Amino acid sequence: MSTNAHVRLSVIAVVVVGLFSAMFARLWYLQVLDSNSFIAAASANEIRFVHTEAPRGEIRDRRGRPLVVNKRVEAITVDLAVLAGHPDRNEVLGRLATLLEIGRPELDKRLADLRHSRFRPVPVAEAVPEHKVTYLAEHRTDFPGVQSAIIAQRSYPNGSIASHLLGYVLEISAEKLQERKAEGYRLGDAIGQSGIELVHERDLRGVAGVTKLQVDAKGRVLSTLDHQPPVAGHDVHLTIDLEVQRLAEESLLQGLEVARGLRDNEEGRPFVAPAGAVVVLDPSDGSVLAMASYPTYDPSEFVAGLPPERYRELVDDTKGAALTNRAIQSGYAPGSTFKLVTAAAATERGMVDPRTTITDRGSFTIPSCRGEQCTKRNAGGAAYGSVNLSRSLTVSSDVYFYDLGARFWLEKGVEDGMQDTAKAYGLGSRTGISLPSERPGLIPDPDLKKRRHAENPVAFPEGTWQTGDSVNMAIGQGDVLVTPLQLASTYATFGNGGSVFRPRVAARVVDRQGNTVREEPAAKVRTVEVSPAVDEAIRDGLRGVVADREGTARTAFAGYSAMSVAGKTGTAQVTSKQDSAIFAAFAPVNAPRYAIAVVMEESGFGGAVAAPVARRIFEGVGGQQPGSVFAGDGFD
Amino acid sequence: MAGATMTRQFGPGLAARRRAATAWRHVDIALVVSVLTCVSLGLVMIYSSTRTRLAEQGTDPAFYLKRQAAFVVVGVVVMAVTALVDYRVLQNRAPLVYGAMVLALLAVLSPLGVERKGQQASFELAGFQLQPSELAKVGLIVVLAAYGSLHGADLNWERVGVAVGLAAVPVALIYLQPDLGTSLVFLVILLGILLVAGAKGRHLLALLALGVVPVVAVVQLNVLQDYQLDRLTSFLDPQNDTRRAAYNLNQSKTAIGSGGVLGKGLFAGTQTNLSYVPEQHTDFIFTAVGEQLGLVGSGLLLAVYGLLAWRVWRAAALARDLFGSLICVGVLSMFVFQVFENVGMTMGIMPITGIPLPFLSYGGSSTLAAFAAVGLVLNVRMRRFA
């Protein structure tokens, strides 16, 4: 060969070496420099995770009776992997749509639902009637890939009982999913929306199961690499007693019906009696035995997802706001039931000796006040004559308390007396019960009045606290607001000798095997000191309310023979509404095991309709066959 | 046997047999070993890439392995036969080779050929597909080497034009199948042989401008912009729809990159064993090597190809005449381009075209053609003193 040819061959050699160098360089880049990103991409290709939601924990009452459980319902699922390659795919789906009576577009929509992993059969219908499930089983060859499966649904064996307290679950919303993604929530997961379901979400939820699958390029599952079964959520045992709860709800409902049969004194209109609440506490530790709110709702409505218009109806104030738990989320003027606080405040500050009597002539004129509004009268215009502390409570003498109220403002050093005692009993601030959206209520004072006026002079034209404000406050009017739970807790505190407990509704958290995971112990917040003489006088007066022939709840408790009761009626005026009927009590008088607050909106006198509701509950828990609620004739 | 008749034409049998026996002593063992290394690895990777899918279909998981093993056995025989007969007999018979080649390429476009995957490229013979375009590569090498050696070191425009014309006919026929990749191989063979045969720089520049510049442009853009690559390759190769091409390239790079230095282990490649990479036992077989055997395995494979290229280049340099030298240069151009295009495609530095990786990819015709090509090179080298 010529030299020329050799030179040309060298050129070829250079080109070849260049090409091989390029390949090595590229190989180095892919397999060494950038390898990690490709490793990640390859594993993302190949690995799929399928999550199985854990069975949610159950909610039980203090004796273990079920309040919320999981019902197993028949669902129809479609295995897309089987159907994908099937020649009759279209026909099968058509047949299925006809059988389920949902139409083909709807079926396709459900199949495409992103909440479901496509590596697991997709549920297309829940709670399917049994005959259709049977039909599917008998015609299996016509429905390849279609199966029936059992899925868990929230179920309420007692209907709407305790619905406000228990709350409900819904599928997690898009916003909430963003918020709580870090906690492992995924599209389609259930999440507690209110009540115990919300507060104990972490206990009830459990841990989702994860199956790690290896899939090929066509999405076919090749093997299961790892499987962690779901861990069921814990059960929550409540302090609620199902029987007491049912008794409270029934009694409240009856009481409201009775009220609707009565007419008010001013215009003679029947009472509207649209709503109310009952709280039953154990005064020895603040446990909630029952918490009723009316109107109520059926939590099973939420199981299949609630239509938006129905939800709007349930929260609409003009339609009763059924989702509101009035026992903790509504503030009411306590009326005469507040006199317990006024009495304790005045006696503890030495303003009045329990034995001291005043003369009740039926009216009271606010000192240094001129005009029509300055003279206040007892309800019904009664004059009780010589009244000491006990009798003032028994007959509900407003004049006795008007006098005390005025003195709180006019005498030195006791200006904040009523407020301080009210706050010591826990009024004006949240009790701290572990339920969502509790209201603090309101105990007004001069500062608040000034502040409100400064912020909104139109709504609050008066900015200065006056004697009349203290006079009104003494009988639980004015701006005083308490929740039914606070009212029950106040009477429980007085009844147990002064221990303020944080009310509790959950007793303990229990795992699936029955082992206690966590106790929710009673928590004593503080003690309110009441001297023995004062305690005796007030207790006597409250006992007289139901037992004395002068008592405002005497007729409501006529024929009552269960445990001894100390209570107080209240009738609160509400602007542009009919009076609220209120009754608060504890029993037995000297070692109370029950404290009850009954509040009924636009229902008239507490002694007429609220006390009978409480009576029926005391009968039930006291071993007496509870009768029907009937109207008493008390004037307060 | 064809060989026997040809030897007889060259005179007394005894002398020829003695020459042949002497020639066998100069067989390039290194070249043979590098080829056998490649086909052995190829068999393993073909099995690894197909067994899962075949088992799923309920067929013999070793189906492709067995067929390829048969091709290799036949290929070794073809290589031996090609090496046996003195290559110089081909110089005069080049027109015959050319005629047969063009005839076969025409026939395959007629109803005699069968269409598979949108390409009219093969004959159906007893369950095997014979692709004349693969064998035509070797045919063109012989024809162009013969023409080049005829006018050695004295190429003018006219003679370069004739060479281009000789190549253009099969290229056009193959482009009609359509098979862009194989057409490109023909152009590269032409370029390599013309270069060593003595074409002037201007001749080659003109050729480049004519056919290679667009290809190079594609390659350049390809490196820069992924979406341009997709658009241009799909323009060049209408059989590929763009999204599929991008997906394939992505999966291919992922397979190789995720292999890392040591690889995921034989049969343990998730990308190549779980069908993420397309055509993995044929055009994308290099991804299986890259993923399962890592940089070590794929680097060694490239090194073996480098050894093979060096032995072929060495044969070109040692050849006793220009014809032999040009044959080796043609074979070298063919192998190096196919390796670079195929491996480069799987790594994303060359456009995706359907060119098999010599000795690795599954396929009867390409394997036989590659063995025949190596047989020619062995032939040239072992007769360098004769």
pLDDT exceeds cutoff 60 at A394: yes
Burial letters B240-252, b for 16+ CB under 10 A, else e: beeeebbebbbbb
Determine which of A263-272, A334-343, B40-49 has the lowest per-residue pLDDT on average. Answer: A263-272
Nearest CA in chain A to B286: A27
A45 vs B contacts (CB less than 8 Å): 251, 254, 270-271, 274, 276
B316 vs A contacts (CB less than 8 Å): 9, 12
pLDDT exceeds cutoff 60 at B227: no
Residue B11's pLDDT is 47
The pLDDT of B16-40, averaged and rounded, is 84
- Select the residue of B302, B313, B348 nearest A9 (Cβ to Cβ): B313
B289-317 pLDDT tens trace: 999 999 999 999 999 999 999 999 999 99
pLDDT-based confidence at B217, cuts 50/70/90?
Answer: low
| Pick among A1, A36, A43 to test the B interface (most B CBs inside 10 A) | A1
- Select the residue of B196, B271, B340 nearest A8 (Cβ to Cβ): B196
Residue A43's pLDDT is 78
pLDDT exceeds cutoff 50 at B1: no
The residue ranking higher by pLDDT, B246 or B119, is: B119
Residue A377's pLDDT is 87
A42 vs B contacts (CB less than 8 Å): 254-255, 257-258, 270-271, 276, 291
The pLDDT of B269-290, averaged and rounded, is 83
The residue ranking higher by pLDDT, B4 or B311, is: B311
The residue ranking higher by pLDDT, A86 or A349, is: A349
pLDDT exceeds cutoff 70 at A133: yes
A359-379 pLDDT tens trace: 999 889 888 777 777 888 887
Residue B15's pLDDT is 64
Q: Report the distance separating Cα A630 and Cα A609, nearest Å.
A: 7
Q: Report the distance separating Cα B183 and Cα B176, nearest Å.
A: 10
Count residue pairs from A and B with Cβ separation < 8 A. Answer: 136
A interface toward B at CB cutoff 8 Å? Answer: 1-2, 4-6, 8-9, 11-13, 15-16, 19-20, 22-24, 26-28, 30-32, 34-35, 37-39, 41-43, 45-46, 214-218, 222
Residue B58's pLDDT is 80
pLDDT exceeds cutoff 80 at B277: no
The pLDDT of A132-158, averaged and rounded, is 81
**What superfamily does domain A242-621 belong to in CATH?**
DD-peptidase/beta-lactamase superfamily (3.40.710.10)
A461-490 pLDDT tens trace: 888 999 999 999 999 998 999 999 999 999
Residues 6 or more apart in contact with residue B96 via CB below 8 angstroms? none
The complex scores an ipTM of: 0.89
Residue B10's pLDDT is 47
Nearest CA in chain A to B270: A46
Mean pLDDT of chain A: 90
pLDDT-based confidence at B152, cuts 50/70/90?
Answer: low
Residue B232's pLDDT is 45
Residue B125's pLDDT is 81
Residue A268's pLDDT is 86
**What superfamily does domain A51-238 belong to in CATH?**
Penicillin-binding protein 2a (Domain 2) (3.90.1310.10)
pLDDT-based confidence at B219, cuts 50/70/90?
Answer: low
A183-240 pLDDT tens trace: 888 877 889 999 999 999 999 998 888 888 877 766 667 778 888 888 889 999 999 9
Could you identify the residue written with the tokens 């025989």?
B77
| Pick among B258, B267, B304 to test the A interface (most A CBs inside 10 A) | B258
Residue A505's pLDDT is 96
pLDDT exceeds cutoff 60 at B224: no
For chain A, which residues make up each domain, given as ranges? Answer: 51-238, 242-621
B340-382 pLDDT tens trace: 999 998 998 888 778 899 999 999 999 999 999 999 999 999 9
The pLDDT of A77-81, averaged and rounded, is 80
